[in-house]
Amino acid sequence: MISGVEKILPNFLLIGAAKSGTTSLYNYLHQHPQVFMSELKEPRFFIYEGQQISDNDLVNRKTVTDINDYHSLFQGVTKELAIGEASGYLASADAADRIKKYLPNVKLVAILRNPVDRAFSHHTFAVQKGFEKEVVFQAALEKELQGINDCQYTRTYIHQGMYHKNLLPFYRNFPPENIKVVLYEDLVQDRIGLIKDIYTFLNVDPSFVPDLNVRMNKSGIPKHRKLYELYQKGSILRDIVRSLLPKAYRGKLNRWIENRSLRKLHFPDELRHELAEYFKEDITGLEMLINRDLSGWKA
Task: Kindly tell me the number of DSSP H helices and DSSP E strands found in the chain.
Answer: 13, 7
pLDDT of residue 2: 46
Question: What residue type is 103 in one-letter code?
Answer: L
Query: What is the spatial order of strands in the sheet that 107-112 belongs to?
Result: 35-37, 82-86, 12-16, 107-112, 179-183
CATH code 3.40.50.300 for 12-220+264-298: yes
Stretch among 3-12, 66-75, 186-195, 254-263 having the lowest mean pLDDT: 254-263
Element (H, E) at 13: strand 12-16
Please tell me the distance from the alpha carbon of residue 47 to that of residue 177, in angstroms, as a whole number.
23
Model confidence over 102-134: pLDDT tens digits?
999 999 999 999 999 999 999 999 998 888 989
Annotated domain spans of the chain: 12-220+264-298, 221-263
The model's pTM is 0.84
pLDDT of residue 6: 67
